Amino acid sequence: MRVLGVDPGLTRCGVGVVEGVPGRPLTMLGVGVVRTPADAELGQRLVAVEQGIERWLDEHRPEFVAVERVFSQHNVRTVMGTAQASAVAMLCAARRGIPVALHTPSEVKAAVTGSGRADKAQVGAMVTRLLRLDAPPKPADAADALALAICHIWRAPAQNRLQQAVALHANKAPVARKAPLPSKGRTP
């Protein structure tokens, strides 16, 4: 399985490609950051993010794209930029028919470090170890993108089995029927 992880952001959008399957050593195929100038107009920045992600999709041809799910922060401006970059990544993947998975930051941290409360340094250290790298990818956005890809590789098979089980159960579930109402004039 080849996954492009995207840590969305307008100034720095982390991207990383990991290949592998659960239970086997993973391989990093590429890591980087799509950057946009903070003083550029919003539309131009979104186009730059799109072009950068498209280049990564062209070069690495992932089977899945894993994007960090935007969560509420106190800084609304930061949330908006992150959400906009996230939407661009999802659009690029959808345009090509590539499935997109959203993972929360705590899911990613838990998958990679074992704790949903791990800090950036712990995530970077585990990404370095899991991918057998010489040093943690810099900046942290790049390491986070790799962590997203690792999380998806490890969690996707279980999530797919759960979805299949839910669908199977929904198809076999008996239809609820109401008990017949007593006829008028008759006492039960």
Enzyme catalytic residues = 7, 68, 141
Look up residue 5 and give its DSSP letter: E
Judge contact between 111 and 151, C-beta under 8 A: yes
Under DSSP, is residue 16 helix (H, G, I), strand (E, B) or coil? strand
Judge contact between 62 and 3, C-beta under 8 A: yes
Q: For 148, how many CA atoms within 13 A lie in the half-sphere containing its CB? A: 30
Spatial separation of the C-alpha atoms in residues 5 and 19, rounded to whole Å: 11
Under DSSP, is residue 28 helix (H, G, I), strand (E, B) or coil? strand
Positive/negative CA dihedral, 93, 96, 98, 99? positive
Look up residue 163 and give its DSSP letter: H
- Cα(first)–Cα(last) distance of the chain, in Å? 63
